[in-house]
Amino acid sequence: MVIVLNGTQRREKQEYFDRLFSLRYQIFVKGRGWALPSVQGPLEIDQYDVDEAVYFFDLDENDEIRGSVRMTPTDRSSLLADYFPHLIENGSSPRSPLIYEATRYIVLPARTNPSGVRLGKARLINAVVEWCLGMKLSHLQAVVDTATLSSFVEMTHRTMPLGLSYPYGGGRGAPGGGECVAFRWPITHEVLNDVRVYGGLDRAQWTLPDPSNRGSIPTQPVLH
């Protein structure tokens, strides 16, 4: 089940957010060794965890987080614009009210079961794209480690790179380092369908009953 919460609900839904920030700390700070600027104890919280941020939580039957992604409106909060503008080589602006940015993308369990991970990715991203369609956005964008770009292209060949990859954190081989690349997805029903096919999602796992349903999706309630 995927639920969507926004940044203004951090106090109201503190239990979910504390678990998410703790998970992010374990994965990004301890696991990947990223030197993140704002670590509050064992919780990873940064300057993009703002009221306008929208959080997708994929919860299992025990209410445990098995996937998550944060979406921010790029006209106000954009990692790409602030830290990685050099990743854009096609002249596009990294900021637009019609573009949201996906960051802190997590799908568990990592690398233990390829088909389970694929389903987990699809379940989460399906909800994100449905939400973006409901918000009538033009694109979502992301900065990812180049080693993971293939998995997004595999989800949809409509994945459009914005430029070539560049080293971060000392480059490949350095602790916490690697190479990153920026891409955009157009927010269309074709992309949504690509994600569903990739994950083999059946209709019971969709939010929108069919691709022709263009009704808006509320930002807050349970998606499915």
Amino acid letter, 30: K
> HEC string of 29-74?
HHHCCCCCCCEECCEECCCCCCCCCEEEEEECCCCCEEEEEEEEEC
Q: Interface with other proteins includes 200 (CB under 8 A)? A: no
Q: d(Cα 76, Cα 205) in Å, to the nearest integer? A: 32
Q: Interface with other proteins includes 153 (CB under 8 A)? A: yes
Q: Interface with other proteins includes 165 (CB under 8 A)? A: yes
Considering only 158, 174, 190, 220, the residue that binds other proteins (CB under 8 A) is 158
Residues of span 39-78 touching other proteins by CB under 8 A: none
Radius of gyration of the chain from its Cα atoms, rounded to whole angstroms = 17
Nearer to other proteins, 147 or 222 (CB): 147
Q: Interface with other proteins includes 189 (CB under 8 A)? A: no
Site stretch for other proteins (CB under 8 A), options 59-67, 102-110, 132-140, 143-151: 143-151
Residues of span 89-118 touching other proteins by CB under 8 A: 89-94, 114, 118
Amino acid letter, 27: I
CB of 55 to other proteins, least distance (A): 27
Is-contact 92 160, C-beta < 8 A? no
Q: What angle do CA 192, 190, 105 make, to 5 degrees?
A: 35
The closest of 47, 195, 198, 204 to 128, measured between CA atoms, is: 195
CB of 21 to other proteins, least distance (A): 28
How many CB atoms neighbour CB 188 within 10 A?
Answer: 17
Q: d(Cα 209, Cα 190) in Å, to the nearest integer? A: 15
Nearer to other proteins, 8 or 150 (CB): 150
Considering only 3, 149, 192, 223, the residue that binds other proteins (CB under 8 A) is 149
Question: Tokens in use for 49?
Answer: 């965890």
Site stretch for other proteins (CB under 8 A), options 3-11, 57-65, 128-136, 165-173: 165-173
Using CB under 8 A, list all residues that contact other proteins.
Answer: 85-86, 88-94, 114, 118, 146-147, 149-151, 153-154, 157-158, 160-166, 172, 179, 181
